[in-house]
Structure 1
């Protein structure tokens, strides 16, 4: 498997209101699922929003899917909104998921929601005529108020942007953030305003803290595109060779192309126009013009993401459920594929034409995204207690992933070989694969097409729709015949085997300051500046047994550095849980301070540090760890 960075197969690793009672949290379940996803051939996983959401008027925020953020610096380590963990787990379990995904050769792409937030208190300073005055956000910190407080001045409406129109100031799921700049009454306000600076600083912190590999940005239509460009440039550097996608919901290709250009190709977009075509094809009963399908694609496909379903198009146990997590499977009348909480109609993965839709989405340019509810048969009794090793899949979708990866689709140029039929479409990934799709429900369709395979090459159908092999002729042409309501995937004979991607280490950086973390005894107690004689815990890493760990402590100012001690606390040798058992340590000037050791057992290694110079002033510090998580674990 050798995919280019913009040709990865991405798995959306959650469903709306996802839950698994067999595990302590969703992140832990995904960590257990990671080896299976890697064995299927996936390149990366899209994970849900990682920050603490508001309590939604309930006792805690466990019910919040993360799309109404409360505190961006709370990844599940502060006692806020009624709980410490987020819906999906703790900071510890998220960092562990990243490390275990990396150990399995998987990248991690969290969902980023920066259009709005919610859960603030009543803002007494706000004008009485504001519709929503709950815009005072004050957060927990270790020894001070938490970082990035907000007030009504940071949202719409405010003195810089009072007169509202268009998508940017539209409040849909809570107070809508104002980034000023073009998002203002004048159209030329401060581009480096408080919210823009704080968002940038947070995103850099988040990327270093977690060690994630890419991102999905939610509702990017809701704020200026230069915000995304700014964040990505500062966190990921000037290059663009990483996965990133924005949710810009429009069925006009020009809208998506314009947004991608505005972010300077640092992010792609979900190809909603193509998805609209696929939806029409699936539900047109064989009367859709297949030859027109390539014309639905957005033009700028540098980092595009074709997809069939996602969590916004499927709410409920079944594809036609009446509402969130409904047990109904009633094929209701009217707009029967879309319920009131969905963004667009669901494509039923058990409709035979859904297989055609996925075959096209996998073949066209971009990073194809597969949805959890499509890959897994997720409507049975084990929906909320699934065993990651045995949860049933749809084998045809596994096979399409295998074909994409083993035939190396994206290593070959995309070419439309035949589109002169209402029913038949034939695409080629140059000299890698030929994919034919037939929308006719009762008859075979075929066509002779040119190929880049060359003359007299034997080809095999790896989809299994045809048992016989075929050959290109002396001119490199071949006859492609496809069964009714089906697809075929032709590649050179002799390709076989599974996947064993190489793992990689993880680097995560813990910033220690008084406005980060939480000293409440109910929390892990992470954060706080380095102080003399008082060990502070930066955070925890879950290292695999027998793996090498390297830890650094450094400061903003390396001139005249104080002396400090870096102390590692060992995990429980049986469970891997945290313990107070002392492990490796090193003392000396923070120039920086460096420690290397071999993890004797798998589990949580706590990283603590303190100043040893009694006259030193408390100082902000950074504790960075490079380590390798276990690819598999029997400890969770």
Structure 2
């Protein structure tokens, strides 16, 4: 049986004649003419399908500019992000680093200097003053957004020099008011780093050897999460952060993240940079925290950039076994500056990758530089809207080949779900598939085609997708 299709552009230029798609799958079609329906099918009001899901915004990129103004710049974005369906913003490391005004925060020196102490040749951080940050957090909360703090627990930088008996040489492990810790809180010395009187190193690999924090030291635990004035409690109770992004969690035991979260709670995601789904699963189960789904990231990179083979998406990913613990992403501050093409997804394929994570399970993260890029912005807004409304219900892969991937979200009793069609070939593709909708018109909510389709009495329909692009089908209004 042939399935009707109508292109709105064709209507205008052919006096309301439409094309009937055949059941063939090679891009060919037979032409017929039928009277168009009245009224023409259009998109449904998606607000009626709110599924309660939202997305997170990574609100920075590497070496943001201009210096000292970032918190103010973000404050001006809050209303738009909230209206677009974002429910959390992940901020860069908010405290003073050794590099002072040039620091992105991953060289942490003073955990309690949010831009108010004169040290490392600056009072504000690269991002602004403490008052600017507090204003940003307040505005985010007033617009219903949670604010996620980036926490670096593995290593410290910018301390004063002292003799270290465990290394039999001088090391920069002295942190006090005169040496990189002007707040006077969480002063440290060589006993708080590795090696020390307890052991040589943490359970996991060393990253920043000479200033590698020892999480087994009781006073380190008190200052990081246990004590009344701990970093965790200060960030939550005083600064009003709502959750945590833990940097480089391979550098210490998973028990550290679990202990932190048991003490103060809040949303939590760890940067366990590994493309192995089993390793990610092991970490999230041990820590109790969510993790960035690097397995998904690398599968998308392999499928879209390296191998041009969408069957790779059938492989293991964290979201497939632990959807509530998987934070999916297409780009972040590290991948975007990485010159190794195997560690980033190409510009040409970014929207395909976003279409994948925003229609599948997991908690998607949008990268600031992508969302604020006018090339992507309107399309990302459409995908976020689709994610927050119709991307629900069990997932079924209906068809998979090197060039094509078709997935169905089966929806719920009150939600129609959707069908995603990814096509990485150089030509327009069509394929006949089963849907959950009988005798209903469908439209492409991605806006990548202007066609409408009609399912038959059994739910069969021939869907289409443009070359090197995608379409997302669901019932019309």
**Same fold, TM exceeding 0.5?**
yes
TM range (shorter): 0.7 to 0.9
SS at match of 1:133: strand
1:46-445 pair list within 5 angstroms = 46-55=90-99, 61-124=100-163, 126-127=164-165, 129-130=167-168, 133-139=171-177, 146-162=184-200, 164=201, 167-168=204-205, 170-172=206-208, 175-180=211-216, 193-200=218-225, 201-236=230-265, 243-264=267-288, 267-284=289-306, 288-298=308-318, 299-315=321-337, 335=340, 337=341, 345-349=343-347, 351=348, 353-377=349-373, 393-405=376-388, 407-409=389-391, 412-431=392-411, 432-445=417-430
Query: Aligned pair count?
Result: 416
Task: Structure 2 unaligned segments of length 5 or more: list them.
Answer: 1-46, 412-416
CA distance in 2, matches of 1:71, 1:139: 10
Q: 1:422 to 1:160 in 2, by over 3 A?
A: same
SS at match of 1:38: helix
Structure 2 residue 451 is matched with structure 1 residue 468: yes
2:464 alignment partner, one of 464, 481, 491: 481
CA distance in 2, matches of 1:393, 1:439: 18
CA distance in 1, matches of 2:166, 2:214: 19
TM-score by length of 1: 0.61
Match of 1:493 in 2: 476
Q: 1:210 to 1:477 in 2, by over 3 A?
A: farther
CA distance in 1, matches of 2:82, 2:324: 25
| Deviation at residue 130 of structure 1 after TM alignment | 4.8
| Deviation at residue 165 of structure 1 after TM alignment | 8.2
SS at match of 1:135: strand
Structure with the bigger percentage of helix: 2
What do the CA deviations read for 1:547-577 (whole angstroms, capped 9, x no partner)? xxxxxxxxxxxxxxxxxxxxxxxxxxxxxxx
What do the CA deviations read for 1:33-74 (whole angstroms, capped 9, x no partner)? 21222233322211100111113xxxxx00110001111111
Match of 1:34 in 2: 78
Contact residue 118 and residue 174 of structure 1 kept, 8 A: no
Task: Structure 1 unaligned segments of length 5 or more: list them.
Answer: 56-60, 181-189, 237-241, 321-334, 338-343, 378-390, 495-636
Q: 1:3 to 1:223 in 2, by over 3 A?
A: farther
SS at match of 1:179: coil
| Deviation at residue 438 of structure 1 after TM alignment | 1.1
| Deviation at residue 260 of structure 1 after TM alignment | 0.2
SS at match of 1:248: coil
CA distance in 1, matches of 2:287, 2:166: 37
What do the CA deviations read for 1:287-312 (whole angstroms, capped 9, x no partner)? 53313304231232222111111100
Q: 1:130 to 1:282 in 2, by over 3 A?
A: farther
| Deviation at residue 176 of structure 1 after TM alignment | 0.8
SS at match of 1:115: coil
Q: 1:44 to 1:173 in 2, by over 3 A?
A: farther
| Deviation at residue 477 of structure 1 after TM alignment | 4.4
SS at match of 1:398: helix
| Deviation at residue 428 of structure 1 after TM alignment | 2.6
